[in-house]
Amino acid sequence: MRKLEPIAAIVLIAFSIAVLSTSSCHRRTSCPVETVQKDTVPILGFFEDSLDMITGEVRSGETFTDLMTRLGMSSQDAWMLAQKCDTVFDVRKLRAGNPFSAYYDADTVSVRHLEYVVYKADRVHLTVFHCADSLAVWNVVKPVETRQQYADFTINTSLWNDMTAAGASPLLISSLSEIYAWTVDFFGLQKGDRFRILYSDSWCDGELFSVDTIYYAVYTREGHDQPAIMYDQGDGGNLYWNEKGESLRKAFLKAPLKFTRISSTFSYHRHHPITGQVRAHTAVDYAAPTGTPVMSIGDGTVISAGWGGGGGNTVKIRHNSVYTTAYLHLSRYAKGIKAGTRVKQGDVIGYVGSTGMATGPHLDFRVWKNGTPVDPLKLESPNEDPIREENLPALDSVYRLYKARVDSLSR
């Protein structure tokens, strides 16, 4: 994304909102798309309707010449076509599992001659190989339509179900979870929680293939709004802020893994499930299948990775002079995790297991603040640096524009 100066950013955002205002749909809107006269020249460079077509996928370990000979070319012609690729297509980047379409001359029933092969690197980028007569290769970029969208949904059963029921794409989940990772527990959403989102997405051949940018979102719980405002300061850092200019990025993730449920909470008086003794359990246990990736909740240094007695395989991380975390009962450690290793927030450090004194697979997660155990579920994570003071007026203008637009759409 091109970095913008604050004034330029406001102009662009104002333009975005002007485009959004062309729609009046309440739950999910798309900007009207003008009908464009289709070109008479086929996008692939040849007329598909006059040929027989088969589809398939590149096989594991299959080279370019292997694929072409499988589809009907001679080995010599396949080799010559590979030379034609030159800078147009790197034959070494043919990927197993990627789809292709092969087109054959339909003049005769008994003998078919391979005319074209279309390799699909992704939904938008294609490479066409002319396999007969004068061998040739060219790339095709299919037209992409960018739409400005609005989504508004309330949690009733699940994030996925309620989002799709409102007509929004589940692709939004990944973007939302990244933006709100430090402030919203997506595994603890409650009935009645609400999301309202202004965003853009991309379409090809009438199908959605990516959510591009969330410009503004509001998460509401029990009448309390948590806005996320996109504003690029041009420093390569944080992009999302609340209305006060505080970064939505916190020093720690809300949870170190994708868990099934919380099987045990922080307590100084708990009956141990194996010994039956009453003892302190200064941790939160997250039940999850064996092998579930476990992530560091923040940047830091591994101070130990080894057997922890009853805790089994354990990783301990010092994040700064105040906070330290530990991850117990791991089945194994992630590659490279050892004492002295530097880790970043979200790095996988190990995998859920049941080593040590454990009745089943789970993660025992512990946090210390200044050497004292604290409840991970009540951890008050410090903010990253706030927006620069000189950008506060611009952020406020952006916030007011977006809020007004969302308020008008959600009535």
List, in order, residues 6 or more apart from 326 with CB less than 8 Å away: 311, 314, 315, 316, 317, 364, 365, 366
User: What length is written for the chain?
Assistant: 411
Which pLDDT score is estimated for 77?
Answer: 94
CATH of the domain at 74: 3.10.450.350
Residue 220 lies inside a defined structural domain of this protein: yes
Q: For residues 161 and 233, state if they share a domain.
A: yes
Please state, in angstroms and as integers, the Cα–Cα distance from residue 360 to each residue in 117, 280, 306, following that order.
Answer: 52, 19, 20
Q: For residues 283 and 354, state if they share a domain.
A: yes
Q: For residues 135 and 150, state if they share a domain.
A: no
Residue 113 lies inside a defined structural domain of this protein: yes
Residue 405 lies inside a defined structural domain of this protein: no
Q: For residues 127 and 150, state if they share a domain.
A: no
Q: For residues 266 and 366, state if they share a domain.
A: yes
Check residue 49 and report its DSSP letter. G
Residue 319 lies inside a defined structural domain of this protein: yes
CATH of the domain at 315: 2.70.70.10
Of 141, 161, 189, which residue constitutes the final position of a domain?
A: 141
Token look-up 């302190």 returns: 280
- Alpha-carbon distance of 151 to 321, in angstroms, equals 42
Which pLDDT score is estimated for 129?
Answer: 96
- Alpha-carbon distance of 268 to 39, in angstroms, equals 73
Which pLDDT score is estimated for 11?
Answer: 41
Q: For residues 366 and 265, state if they share a domain.
A: yes
- Alpha-carbon distance of 240 to 217, in angstroms, equals 10
Which of 238-243's residues contact partners 24+ apart within 8 Å by CB, and which partners? 238/384, 238/385, 240/179, 241/386, 241/387, 241/395, 243/396, 243/399
Which pLDDT score is estimated for 103?
Answer: 96
How does pLDDT run along the chain (411 residues), one tens digit per residue?
Answer: 333 344 334 444 544 544 444 433 334 444 333 334 445 678 899 998 889 999 999 999 999 999 999 999 999 999 999 999 988 999 998 999 999 999 998 765 567 889 999 999 988 999 999 998 889 999 999 999 999 999 999 999 988 999 989 888 888 888 888 888 778 877 778 999 999 999 999 999 888 888 999 999 999 999 999 999 999 998 877 899 999 999 988 778 888 988 767 867 755 554 445 545 546 677 889 999 999 999 999 888 999 999 989 899 999 999 887 889 999 999 999 999 999 999 998 999 999 999 998 888 999 999 998 889 998 888 877 667 899 999 999 999 999 999 999 999 987
Q: For residues 314 and 366, state if they share a domain.
A: yes
Which helix H or strand E contains 66, and what residues bound it?
helix 64-71
Residue 384 lies inside a defined structural domain of this protein: no
Residue 173 lies inside a defined structural domain of this protein: yes
**Neighbour count for residue 212 (Cβ, 10 Å):** 15
Q: For residues 58 and 107, state if they share a domain.
A: yes
Q: For residues 282 and 343, state if they share a domain.
A: yes
Note down the domain range covering 202: 6-32+145-241
Q: For residues 137 and 156, state if they share a domain.
A: no
Contact call for residues 288 and 331 (beta carbons, < 8 A)? no
Tally helices (H) and strands (E) across the chain: 6, 23
Q: For residues 372 and 266, state if they share a domain.
A: yes
Taking the CA of residue 108 as centre, how many other CA atoms within 13 Å lie in the half-sphere pointing to its CB? 5
Residue 83 lies inside a defined structural domain of this protein: yes
Please give the tally of structural domains in the chain.
3
Of 141, 167, 200, which residue constitutes the final position of a domain?
A: 141
| Tokens matching residue 116 | 């074209």
The separation between CA 331 and the C-alpha centre of its own chain, rounded to angstroms, equals 26
Contact call for residues 367 and 373 (beta carbons, < 8 A)? yes
Please state, in angstroms and as integers, the Cα–Cα distance from residue 169 to each residue in 147, 176, 208, 209, 411, following that order.
Answer: 13, 12, 8, 10, 22
Q: For residues 108 and 172, state if they share a domain.
A: no
Which pLDDT score is estimated for 266?
Answer: 57
Amino acid at 171: L
Residue 393 lies inside a defined structural domain of this protein: no
Contact call for residues 293 and 257 (beta carbons, < 8 A)? yes
Which pLDDT score is estimated for 114?
Answer: 93
Of 141, 164, 192, which residue constitutes the final position of a domain?
A: 141
